[in-house]
Amino acid sequence: MAESLGGEALVSPPPSLIRASYGDRVFKGLLTLAAVGVPLLLGLLFVELVSGSRLAIERFGFGFITHSTWNPVTEEFGAFPLIVGTLLSSFLALLMAVPLSLGVAIYLTEFAPMPVRKPAAFLIELLAAIPSVVYGLWGIFVLIPILRQTVFPFLQTVLGFLPFFRGTIYGPSMLSASIILAIMVMPYIMSVSREVLLAVPSSQREAALALGATRWEAVTSAIVPYARSGIIGAIILGLGRALGETMAVTMLIGNRHAISASLFAPSYTMAAAIANEFAEAVADIHLSALAYVSLVLFGVTVLVNAGARLLIWRVTQRGMPGGAT
Amino acid sequence: MNRQERRRLKSRVMVSIMALAVILAVLPLVFILLNLVVKGASSLNWAFFVETPAPAGQSGGGVGHAVLGTLIIVGMACLIGLPIGVGAGIYSAEYPASRLARVARFVADVMNGTPSIVVGVFAWTLIVANQKHFSGLAGSVALAMLLIPMVMRTTEEMVKLVPNSLREAALALGYPRWRTSLRVVLRTALPGIVTGSLLAIARIAGETAPLLFTALGSQFFSTNPNQPMAALPLVVFTYATGPYEEWHRLAWATALVLIIVVFVLSLAARIATRQRFTLNA
């Protein structure tokens, strides 16, 4: 940013002011450069992903999304099982994580004894700091043996009449991956919904209690409805995390390009396929197909996150001043 | 039982269920940390931190190469990412209404939600595909991509917290804007920025997915950023999914080291914020 002074001033200012305005311009220039860099980087990411997947886009078009064969030998690629695997594992994870994290968030904002509230929230948020690969390690050597020997057989005897719980029991499977995902996503949903619940004005709670509601009724009738769109935002944010989660899922899902009704069977996700095959792929079309998969994954997470931000933003905008709408 | 009592009972039952949920939610943390310590701690010794791995199937060896690799890769990622992240954060806090600030803020949120594996693919097509070989530098670029939006958003929040009266006082004393920003505003916000940066560094230090096909991993001490490089998370992944008992033992020990690094960084971050409040008073 070594631009010269544009000497346009009619009356020359004192030297100290000239130095100041020069410094200001350099400073603002540097900051602007950094700020412009952020959108540029995202643009570059998008361009690189598209150019990386051009070969596959030209060969397979949109049929890539609905086609189910994945065969590097015959160079036929379709991402349908991967997309289904990603959506299903994330959905199952949310099914387990949402009630649990909402229960925790509500308890920690409304019912828990004051001295417990912050430390408990801190402990659970610590889960979010554990690297994904450590979850994977723990999943392989601790969680999967427990699941395969006791939990899965139990589920099969109790719920075996459902097609999801039939068939051979594998350790690495859709259900194992979903369980680890649920643990990983929980701190995010818990922490954001806790913040949203804390923003609910106490007049809301007091009004319900004054009308004779029990504490639980105050939660369901006054507090949660008030925070509803923020909580939905928190859940969608968790969904965004689950969709893109890679290492732990790669290590636990069994990595098979197939869709099966049984949750005990191995499966695959978009992120896991990229992680496993990218470094080993040799054919250009194989690499390009994997880049195409990451483009699809990128698109899905951008949509999901934009939706979540919008919802949370709406709540916090409304929630701050007084709030009684 | 009348209606009143039924409602009260229901309330009490639901509250106890939620209390159980808290216990259930804390259990995984306790379990994971306990397992890490039990299975990993016994393998930690001096050789573990300074030696390279023994040949496959043999016992002994260490992960010194990965400790060095992680330091280099994360260090380079900070060199690339921190200036851009902090600069963009100051910009969007100092000129909050400008169009650029709004765009940058939105883009940072989008980047924050982008899966790290996708960022890895980006670094691959950008660098590895062009250079035709894997490199530690490509891994650093991928990690910097993850670092920038996190650092930018926390920097912005922290700079916004600085009271306007401070800024005005400095300007009234004849300080030019840039010196006001650097010497007064930034100085006040610094502990918060350090906290945010440390938390972000803790996050990227544990990332594996973006390194899989950029830094790739290596068996040797390597300080050349243009060559494949080992990193602690990559070692955990390779050893955990490998066939040997000995590897599994090393994987647990490495994971323990990784967790300690991440927690120490987070703890340092918390201490830095605590100081902010005493400074402001």
pLDDT in tens, A52-107: 999 999 999 999 999 999 999 999 999 999 999 999 999 999 999 999 999 999 99
pLDDT tens digits for range B192-211? 899 999 999 999 999 999 99
Once rounded to an integer, what is the mean pLDDT over residues A258-272?
A: 93
Shortest CA distance from B251: residue in chain A: A137
Are residue B24 and residue B115 in the same domain, yes or no? no
Sign of CA dihedral B82, B87, B90, B96: negative
Global confidence as pTM: 0.91
Six-digit token pair at A290?
A: 């994997």
Are residue B122 and residue B240 in the same domain, yes or no? yes
The H or E element containing residue A71 is strand A70-71
Are residue B254 and residue B150 in the same domain, yes or no? yes
Structural domain boundaries enclosing A222: 60-319
The number of C-beta contacts closer than 8 angstroms across A and B is 263
- The residue type found at B97 is A
Are residue B33 and residue B110 in the same domain, yes or no? no
Instruction: From A247, A135, A96, select the one nearest B32 (Cα to Cα).
Output: A135
pLDDT tens digits for range A161-170? 888 998 888 9
Residue A10 resides in a domain: no
Q: What is the mean pLDDT of chain B?
A: 90
- pLDDT at position A1 is 40
A311 — contact with chain B (CB < 8 Å)?
Answer: no
In the structure, what pLDDT confidence band is assigned to residue B277 with cuts at 50, 70 and 90?
Answer: very low
Are residue A95 and residue A241 in the same domain, yes or no? yes
Cα–Cα distance for residue pair B139/A257, rounded to 1 Å:
28
pLDDT tens digits for range B141-160? 999 999 999 999 999 999 99
Task: Decide the pairing of beta strands A70-71 and A76-77.
Answer: antiparallel
Residue B211 C-alpha from the chain's centroid: 14
Are residue B31 and residue B51 in the same domain, yes or no? no
B243 — contact with chain A (CB < 8 Å)?
Answer: no
Sign of CA dihedral A26, A30, A32, A36: positive
**Chain B residues 170-189 with CB within 8 Å of chain A:** 176-179, 181-182
User: Are A60 and A75 a contacting pair, CB within 8 Å?
Assistant: no
User: Are A238 and A94 a contacting pair, CB within 8 Å?
Assistant: yes
Q: How far is CA A251 from CA A135, A221, B85, B185, in A?
A: 9, 42, 32, 46
Are residue B104 and residue B15 in the same domain, yes or no? no
A146-159 burial string, b = 16+ CB within 10 Å, else e?
ebbeeebeebbeee
Structural domain boundaries enclosing B21: 3-43
Are residue A42 and residue A118 in the same domain, yes or no? no
Are residue A35 and residue A78 in the same domain, yes or no? no
> Which residues of chain B have a CB within 8 Å of the CB of A106?
18
Q: How far is CA B104 from CA A12, A67, A175, A295, A311, in A?
A: 37, 37, 39, 21, 19
- pLDDT at position A191 is 94
In the predicted structure, residue A256 carries a pLDDT above the cut 70: yes
Domain total for chain A? 2
| Contact state of B113 with A305 under an 8 Å Cβ cutoff | yes
Among A101-110, A303-312, B47-56, top mean pLDDT goes to A101-110
Partner residues linked to A70 by β-bridges: A77
B9 — contact with chain A (CB < 8 Å)?
Answer: no
Which residue among B110, B212, B233 places its CB closest to the CB of A278?
B212
Are residue B73 and residue B168 in the same domain, yes or no? yes
Residue A233 C-alpha from the chain's centroid: 11
**Residue B50 CB burial class (10 angstroms; 0-12, 13-18, ≥19):** middle
Min distance B8 CA to chain A CA atoms (Å) = 6
| Contact state of B84 with A37 under an 8 Å Cβ cutoff | yes
Are residue A109 and residue A153 in the same domain, yes or no? yes
In the structure, what pLDDT confidence band is assigned to residue A320 with cuts at 50, 70 and 90?
Answer: very low
| Contact state of B104 with A39 under an 8 Å Cβ cutoff | yes
Position of tokens 């949402």?
A: A98
Once rounded to an integer, what is the mean pLDDT over residues A10-39?
A: 81
Domain total for chain B? 2
Q: What is the mean pLDDT of chain A?
A: 89
In the structure, what pLDDT confidence band is assigned to residue B280 with cuts at 50, 70 and 90?
Answer: very low
Residue A300 resides in a domain: yes
Are residue B38 and residue B51 in the same domain, yes or no? no
| Contact state of B125 with A51 under an 8 Å Cβ cutoff | yes
CATH of the domain at A277: 1.10.3720.10
Are residue B136 and residue B257 in the same domain, yes or no? yes
- pLDDT at position A13 is 61
Share above pLDDT 90 across residues of chain A, in percent, rounded to a whole number: 73
**Chain A residues 141-200 with CB within 8 Å of chain B:** 141-142, 183, 186, 190
Are residue B38 and residue B163 in the same domain, yes or no? no
B263 — contact with chain A (CB < 8 Å)?
Answer: yes
Min distance A292 CA to chain B CA atoms (Å) = 10
Cα–Cα distance for residue pair B26/B9, rounded to 1 Å:
26
Cβ neighbours around A74 below 10 Å, total: 7
Are residue A48 and residue A65 in the same domain, yes or no? no
| Contact state of A290 with B121 under an 8 Å Cβ cutoff | yes
Position of tokens 């259930």?
A: B24
- pLDDT at position A12 is 63
